[in-house]
Structures are given as structure tokens and as C-alpha cells.
Structure 1
Amino acid sequence: MQHLSAQSYSGLELDNFSGINSLTFNPANVVDSRFRADINIATVGSTITTDYFGINLSNLIDNPDGFDFDEDSQTFPSQANNLYLNLDVLGPSFMFNLAPKHALGITTRVRAFMNVNRINGSLYETLSEDDAFDNDINIDMENLNGTIHAWTEAGLTYGMVLYDGKNHFLKGGITLKYLQGAGAVFFNSDRIQGNYDAAGDTITANGDLTYGQTLDDTNDENDEFKFGSGSSGFAADFGLMYEYRPNLGDIKMDSTSLKGHNQYRFKLGLSLQDMGKLSYENVNVEEYVISGTVSADDFEEDFQQGLEDNYDQTSTVQNVDLQLPTTLRYMADYRINRNLYLGLSGVLSLNDDTSPLSNRRLNYMSIVPRYESRLFSLYTNLSVMEYSDFIWGAGFRFCLLTVGSGSIISNLITDDSRAADVYAGVKIPILQSRYSKETKQLRKEERRKAKAERQKRKAIEKMDK
């Protein structure tokens, strides 16, 4: 099976100079960074994923007549297709050092997730055909669920150096987040089974369906997502980062004098993210018991009205908890030389796709070779993601600007693109000095002695001649 899939911020999450952006991957990155301070103006990343269809993006770009969905896409229906959408906006944020082994960060974010799981794509494909209702149709869906949720975050990150030995370095961090809900729509069904009878134009089905929304649908003007909609909550991220720091040859000073340099041969990172939930009060929840035979005409104009007119319904007002996309992130990075690195990063979702009232990230793993310097980084990612085959992307950071996509290269070289993502950001970095005043003075003295030694050798050679 082929799929459309993608990931946000691929490559950027390993860059040692990503600064304030790296706090969203592992809060331990706030301390012992390459920055005295880092200020984010705005960073936006978005990802869309579905295993139902793939798009020929080269035709989309080259065709002057526009995109033809039938000709420029392929569908891959199954009994359990999925859809994923993620939008992440890091707003005005900053981090700074409190002391050599302590640092603080403050972040603001707007986030939105859409997870629709286990839709019967084969049924949808059948219903999309022009002569669909000329034949009998089998209906079978199991563990269908979907959650659309948007919220804002204000986060406070604290990090500290836990251990700084001769060759080993360990730091940790925590982010505490205050959440403000914008709204949510959700639905789920354990199972719906039945069939459509073409001769009688009737639907016979048995099962259940629950639908709810935090939005006010009594007035069309209010039926929209609104930040500050009355829901709030708290969440937390935790992270650890270990570095192995042998003598690398090009770095010979003590660690306190080299805050502007990467000092590791390799490092390992682990973080637990989005531990928490948002609670909504007075949510309208509709529960339907689907049973019996009804006319198909009742669902042609208004599906929800057809449910209400034909099946037993229970309407309640409830308090609903929506689970955040709790995630385990891991990374490893090997320093080949001063500017060349080979990294690995990945995500494991801790929320199951059969769980209603929750969002989840997709599992993925990426290998990321990169060139990295203080002002410029260039990286490419080779990735495998849940619902997906291999995808290939690239990105760069130059001074204030960061731009990339985890799927841009595979988009350009494949006939049925399975990825769609992009990220871009602008920030103001205030880098650490390469060396402390004491180290600069020491290096100056070493250069003076070396120069004097060279002059002495030249004088001896001149006398010998």
C-alpha cells in the first residue's frame, strides 16, 4: 500500500543552532546551548498525511491547465484508511542563560490536530462512483474515530546541567505549559454493519455512533473555533540529553570556556512530550443507536438530520477531557568533524489510534546527515513514517531564516507523492562568544610564544648559514 505522509521540522530538530525551536523537541536543549539568548519571531510548520490517496505533484506544477484529481492522483482504499493533519505555530518566544549551568525559556504556540482513524476507504470509493447506487453495497466499519482539536500554549522551560565530568555530560529540562482551548469536534463508533439494497433504495444497519462538539451550533455565527472558549488545562514536557566528550583535537580548552562550540563526539536525547489534557465543560454529545431498515433518501440532503429522524438518540451535556498527543521522542547524533554530523531522530506515539477523544502523532524515524556552522546549516532527511513508505526532504538555516520540508525531494522525483509538509521561521539569535576572556588571553599568549619560537628558530638557522 502507498500513502501520503509527512513530518514537520525534519532536520531542524537535530541542529545545535536551532535554539528556541529545539525546546519544542526536548526542553533540555535550553541549557548549555550555543546561545547567550535566542528570540523567535515566528515559526510555522504544517503536515498532512493520508493513506487513501497520493498526488503527482510534478503534474500539479507543470500543468498549465491546473490540477485534475482523477488524472493526477491515485487512490489506495482499504477497510481502515486514515487522515492526519497538524499545524504548529511557534509565536514570540525567547530563551536565555540564568547562570553557566542554568537556563530559562518562555514559549507561545498555536497548535491544531486532526486525526481521523479507520475510515472504510473501500466504501467511500464505492459511494464516489457515478453508478454507486445501482448496485447493492456492503457496509462494515470498526473502531472508527476522529478528533479535531485546536489550542494555544504558554510554556515556561527550565533546564540545568546535571553532571559535567571529564568525558561525560548530562543535562535535563522541563516545560510546564498552560493551555487554552479553541474548540474540538469528535466522533467514534465501535462498529457499524449493514448493507444498502439498490432495489428498495433502503439502508439496513446495526451499530452505534457518538458525535460531539465544543462549538455552539445554535447560531451559525458562533459555530467556529475560538481561542479562549472556556476550556483550560496544563501539560508538561520532560527531557534528558547525554553527551560523550572526549578530547576531539580541535577542542582543547575546558568546557566552561567553550560555550560557543559543540564539544561532543556523540550525544543521545530522550523526551516525553504533551503529558496532559484539556477539559471542556458543557459539551453537546449525541449518541445514536443504529438499528433497522430506513429509506436512503433521508440521508441525501442532511446526514445528521437523517440520523435524528431514523434512529434512537440520546442528547446529553457532558464535561469532556481531550487527551493531548503524548509522545516519546528520541535522537542520536554523531560528530564526524567540526562541521559534519550524522543524526537519527524519531517519534513514538503513546496514544493508540483506536482511542477516542485524543490526538496522536504518527510514528516515524529519520536519518539526517548535515553540515552545521554558527551561521549556516544544511540538512537532508531520509525518513520512514507510519502509513508511509520512504520520504526524502531537505532544509537549511541561514542566520535569521530557517526553511525546509521533510518531503520536498521525494515530491520532485516520484509520480505519486506521499508527503506534504513545510516549515519556515524567522528569529534573532544572540550567539555565545567562541571563547571566554580568559581563554582568549590564553590563546593570545600561546600565539605570542609560538611566534617568538619561530623567530628564534629563524635566527639560529640564519646564524648557521
Structure 2
Amino acid sequence: MKNALLISLFIIVSNGISIAQQNYFGVQNSKRKGMINAKMNPAEINNLSKKVEVSLFSINAGVDNNVLSAQDIIDNPDVFDNIFDNVEEPVNLRTDVSVMGPAVGLRFDKWSFGITTEVKAKVDIIDFNPELGNSIIQNANENNVQTSINIPENQRINASGWMELGFIVGRKILDTDFHTLSVGGNFKLLFPGSYSNFGVDKLKATIIHSEDETLITDAIGSLNLSYDERWENEDGFDLQDDLWRGFNPGGLGVDLGVNYMIKKDNDPLLNIGLSVKNLGSMGMGSNQRHKNYAVNIPQNEYFRIDNLDGNVEEIEQQLVDSGYFTINDADSDIRVNLPRTMSAYLEFSPVKTFQISLYGQKRINNESNNINLSAADLIVITPRLVLGKFELYSPWMQHQISNFTGGLGFQYGGFFIGSNSVITNLIKNDSHRADIHLGLSWGFGS
């Protein structure tokens, strides 16, 4: 089990930079409406500030965890040797980056249209049990250690990557001098890249480590292992050849949204939106290996995990040959569910120079399921100073994993740069989030 976990960690790390489902919190509620706003809610395509909006690029990177702060790592570079000490709750980490390439939006009288390109991926550690983490570290650093673990919930290490080609369409249902009601949809072709998952569910076991061997006994539970068989090559873990599987679409995703705006003197006074995002799934292709194992090692019988050796396929065979691991489900053509969310927001502009927005997001799928991609629950409040083309905004977020963070950013025309955590990282020593977002767009026409 130790080797299998290390293999999964290696698979995730060797993916390189991770790119993921992530909203541009803070800037996405800007008074200047562009393609970032339309990605948040496709109904916002009807509210583009310019008749033609061209997004050249947008990048957003963030990492959240509930165990370590950046200051912990700076103060103690060896902190990973005892990272699970004094940790009582499950360990969680979300690494998110989003890269949106060229995107174009066109606003007409009642109809609006857009095309977007985006690269996404996710790297998550979900509810990792600190007792298991401690046993792995102790087995690596100490001798004659015996650890009993009882893990009732599914814990996962998950990484995925894909690309999207989105087609946005929106229509104004109602449009007067006083208010506007719009609807929209974003229909996305999904191009799968790579997917890996290591899940351990309802595990009860005793791990014994001595100077010469590491044994597991009195164990029962289930194990999920999913990975791209292209990892199995003579050069090791390398996906440089045909990473995007020939750019063949593997599924369809859908975002749906509605937007209501109250206007004062032709300017937005109150803007309210609701959207459901990432309905759909994608097939990972015939070269995906996906297996579920039942683990049953009786008391007084032992399985030596330090003897596991070779590539992933060879280790799988050693598990089966032991008689303690039984394949009860295998599928080479799995479908992975997108990180489904429901979000709502409110933007209030009492005067032309000030706006305050409230954004909330709720995950609507079960992140403990081995084929579901996760998304975080969160709420963000953002005051914004507006001086013509210049906007200064400060997002304050309560995040499911990293708790409370505060940031700062600015936007001038179509250029923006900011962070949702820079303030708390500067004034607090225990902030558990780090992120940055920036982008450039250009609009013309009235």
C-alpha cells in the first residue's frame, strides 16, 4: 500500500503544472463586463461592455490546504518530516490553475454569442487520513513501529487535465430602461488529457515496520486505482507523446445561467445572477486503466508491502498474486464527471465610483466518489473603487479548505492583475492560500 501511494503521488507530481476549474474571484464581478464574466455566468454574455470583446489570455493559479502555511515551510524546511504531527482532521489540498486562451464575444440587439478556449486540470488531496500519513513517514524514518489505522471515509489523491472549446449563446428576454432579464448557456466540447486517482475507502489495518521489512495485517477495505496506461513505457512516466489523445472530443459539458439587472440612469444599479456549471462528463479513452480492489488480509497473516517493485502493471499483478487483493471491478472506458457547482452573486453599485459584490459557490456532486472531480464551497465579498477605466478591488473569501483570506487587485481597461490572498499572506503567518490572477482583453464598439 505504501508503494501504491507513492506511485500515485509520483504520477501527480510528474504531471508538471496543474491547470484547473477555478473562477477569477474578485475580478469576475467587475463593472467592466468581458469574457471572464461570461465564463462565470453565460447569461452575462448579454451584458458585454463593448459590442465586440476579445480576450487575449487569462491565467489564474491558486493552492489551498488546511495544514501548512507558507511561513511554516520558510521557518522549517524539514516540516514535511513531521507534517502530520498534531493534525486531527483529514488533510485536504486543492491546487488550481486556469488558462483561458483566445476568446471572442459578440453582442447584438437581443442575441449574443461567444467562443472560448481553455485548458483545465485538477490536483487534489481529499480527506487524507493523518494516521495513515504518520504511519508512512514513520515507516520511512523509524524502525520497530506498529500502527493501527481505521479510516471509515474514502480518501483520494486525484489529478486530471483536459481542454475545453466553448460556444456561448445568450438572449435578452426583457430589456427596458429600468431592468433587463437575460439567459445564457455555454456548450463545451471536452478534450481529455490525463486522469489518475488513488482512493482508499473503509480501510482498517495494522502496519508493522521493522529494520528489514514492512508488513500489513488484519486489513479489510477497498482500493481504487485509475491511471493512463501511457505511464507504462520504457521511459517511465512520460505523456509527451499525444498528451491530448489526438484532440478527439471525449464529452460535452454545459453551463446554464440567468441574469437580472436593475438600471439607474442607464447604469447598472443591481445585478443578480445564478448559474449551474459543469453539467456533463468526459470519457478518458480506451487506454485508461481503472480498477477497484477488495483488500482482505486476516489476522496473523501478513503481506509484505516493501517487496512491491516494478511498474504499475507489475505491482498490480503482485497484489493479485498475493491472494489478499481481489479485483471486483475493472473498466477501461470510464467517464469522469466534471466538478459541478451552483453559484449565485449580487453586484450593487449605489454610485458610479463604488461597487460591492457578493459571490457564493456550492459543490453539487460528491467529491468522495472516485470518478467525480471536486470543487470547493466558498463565499467572496468584494468592495470595488471605480474611477473610469481604473478599478481597485479587494476580495475577501471564506474557503472550504483554507478558511478566511483577503486580497487586492486592480484593473485598467482590459488588463487586470490581483490576488485573493496577498493581504492575509502579508499580515498573517498562518494563511493557507496562495494565488494570483491576471489577464488582458480588448473591446470595441458601443
Q: Please classify the TM superposition score into its range, dividing by the shorter chain length.
A: 0.7 to 0.9
Cα distance per residue 1:151-208 (max 9 Å; x no partner): 1111111111111245332111111111111121123233211112356853112212
What SS class does the counterpart of residue 336 from structure 1 fall into?
strand
Question: 1:231: Cα distance to partner?
Answer: 5.4
Q: Which residue of 2 aligns with 1:394?
A: 408
Contact 1:8 1:406 in 2 (8 A): no
Match of 1:287 in 2: 292
Q: Secondary structure at the match of 2:24?
A: coil
Indicate how the Cα distance of structure 1 residues 327 and 378 shifts in structure 2: closer, same or farther if over 3 A, else same. Answer: same
SS in 2 for 1:172: strand
Aligned pairs for 1:116-265 within 5 A? 116-129=125-138, 131-141=141-151, 142-165=153-176, 167-198=178-209, 201-204=214-217, 205-221=219-235, 223-224=238-239, 226-228=243-245, 230=248, 232-245=250-263, 248=264, 251=265, 255=266, 263-265=267-269
- 1:305-338 C-alpha deviation (Å, 9 max, x unpaired): 2645533343845220100011111100111201
Are the aligned partners of 1:41 and 1:427 in contact in 2 as well (CA < 8 Å)?
A: yes
Q: Give the residue type in structure 2 aligned to 1:277.
A: S
CA-to-aligned-CA distance 1:73-96 (integer Å, 9 cap, x gap) = 976633522221222111011112
Task: Give the aligned partner of residue 7 of structure 2.
Answer: none
Q: Closer, same or farther in 2 for the Cα pair 1:40/1:351, shift >3 Å?
A: same
Kept in 1: contact 2:161–2:194 (CA 8 A): yes
Q: Secondary structure at the match of 2:183?
A: strand
Secondary structure in structure 2 of the residue aligned to 1:43: strand
1:322 paired residue among 329, 336, 345: 336
Equivalent of 1:312, from 301, 325, 334?
A: 325
Asked if the contact 1:32/1:161 (under 8 Å) is kept, the reply is: no
**One-letter amino acid of the structure 2 residue matched with residue 379 of structure 1:** Y
Inter-partner Cα distance in structure 1 for 2:47 and 2:331: 49
Instruction: Output the amino acid matched with 1:362.
Output: A
Q: Secondary structure at the match of 2:226?
A: strand
From the superposition, tell whether residues 132 and 330 of structure 1 become closer, same or farther in structure 2 (CA, over 3 Å). farther
Q: 180-189 or 356-365, which moves further after superposition?
A: 180-189
Instruction: Call closer, same or farther: CA 1:302–1:182 in 2, change over 3 Å.
Output: closer
User: Are 2:179 and 2:262, in contact at CA under 8 Å, matched by a contact in 1?
Assistant: yes
| Alpha carbons 1:147, 1:357 under 8 Å: kept | no
Matched, 1:274 2:278: yes
Q: Please say if residues 169 and 244 of structure 1, whose CA atoms lie closer than 8 Å, have aligned partners that are also in contact.
A: yes
Q: 1:427, CA displacement in angstroms?
A: 1.9
2:437 is matched with 423
Q: 1:335 aligns with which of 349, 369, 375?
A: 349
Rg larger in 1 or in 2?
1
- 1:33 aligned partner: 48
Tell me, yes or no, if the aligned pair for 1:16 and 1:33 is still in contact at 8 Å. Answer: no
TM-score (norm 1): 0.80
Alignment of 1:361 onto 2:385:
no
Measured after TM superposition, the shift of residue 394 of structure 1 is: 1.2
- Cα 1:238–1:301 shift into 2, 3 Å: same
Identity %: 21
Question: Do the aligned partners of 1:56 and 1:73 also contact (CA within 8 Å) in 2?
Answer: no
* RMSD between aligned residues: 2.8
> Which residue identity lines up with residue 23 of structure 1 in the other structure?
A
Distance 1:195 1:121 in 2: 15
Q: TM-score by structure 2 length?
A: 0.83
Tell me the equivalent position of 2:70: 55
* Candidates 99, 102, 118, aligned match of 1:92: 102
User: Structure 1 regions of 5+ residues with no counterpart?
Assistant: 1-5, 256-262, 433-465
Give 1:449's aligned residue. Answer: none
Moved more, 200-209 or 384-393: 200-209
> How many Å apart are 1:220 and its aligned residue?
4.2
Aligned residue-pair number:
406
Sort the Cα spacing of 1:266 and 1:387 in 2 relative to 1 into closer, same or farther, 3 A: same
Contact 1:378/1:397, CA 8 A, preserved across alignment: yes
- Report the 3-state secondary structure (helix = DSSP H, G, I; strand = E; otherwise coil) of the residue aligned with 2:432: coil
